[in-house]
C-alpha cells in the first residue's frame, strides 16, 4: 500500500469540507434572500443565521489580516505528506483560477470577501433573524 495514500485521502476530505463551507457561505446568502422572498420562515432561524454570519466574518477577517485559511494550510500539509502537488494562494483564489481561468491580485479577493460580508450583514438588517423560526412550536 502507498504510504502517502492516507494523507491524500485526508487532504481530499479537507478539500471537500472546504468546498462545502464555501457553498454554505455563498449559497447561504442566496437561500436567506430567496427564502425570505418566498416566505420560508426557517431561513431566519437564529442558529442558521449566526453560523452563516460567523463563517463569512471569519473569511473576511482572514483576508484583512492576510492569514491563510487553516483548512488550506491543513490540506497543503497533508498533500506534502502524500508527496502530491500543492498550490499557492487561497483556496477560493486557486479554484476560481482553475475553474474560471480568472487571475487577479490578492486585493481583489479581499475586496470581494469584504463586499460579500457586507451583503451578509445587510441581510441581517433587511431580513432579521428570529429565535425559534421554523421550529415545531411555531408551526402550531
CB pairs under 8 A, 24+ apart, for 102-111?
Answer: 109/63, 110/63, 110/64
pTM of the model: 0.77
Indicate the domain borders of the chain: 5-130
Q: What is the mean pLDDT of residues 89-102?
A: 60
Query: How sure is the predictor about 11, in pLDDT bands with cuts at 50, 70 and 90?
Result: confident
pLDDT beyond 50 at 139: no
pLDDT beyond 90 at 16: no
Coil, helix or strand at residue 90: coil
Amino acid at each position: 500500500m502507498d504510504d502517502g495514500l492516507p494523507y491524500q485521502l485526508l487532504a481530499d476530505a479537507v478539500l471537500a469540507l472546504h468546498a462545502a463551507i464555501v457553498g454554505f457561505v455563498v449559497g447561504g446568502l442566496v437561500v436567506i434572500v430567496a427564502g425570505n422572498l418566498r416566505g420560508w420562515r426557517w431561513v431566519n432561524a437564529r442558529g442558521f443565521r449566526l453560523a452563516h454570519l460567523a463563517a463569512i466574518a471569519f473569511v473576511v477577517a482572514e483576508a484583512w489580516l492576510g492569514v491563510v485559511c487553516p483548512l488550506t494550510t491543513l490540506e497543503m500539509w497533508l498533500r506534502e505528506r502524500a508527496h502530491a502537488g500543492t498550490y499557492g494562494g487561497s483556496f477560493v483564489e486557486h479554484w476560481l483560477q482553475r475553474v474560471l481561468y480568472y487571475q487577479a491580485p490578492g486585493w481583489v479577493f479581499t475586496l470581494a470577501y469584504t463586499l460579500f460580508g457586507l451583503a451578509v450583514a445587510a441581510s441581517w438588517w433587511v431580513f432579521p433573524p428570529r429565535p425559534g423560526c421554523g421550529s415545531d412550536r411555531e408551526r402550531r
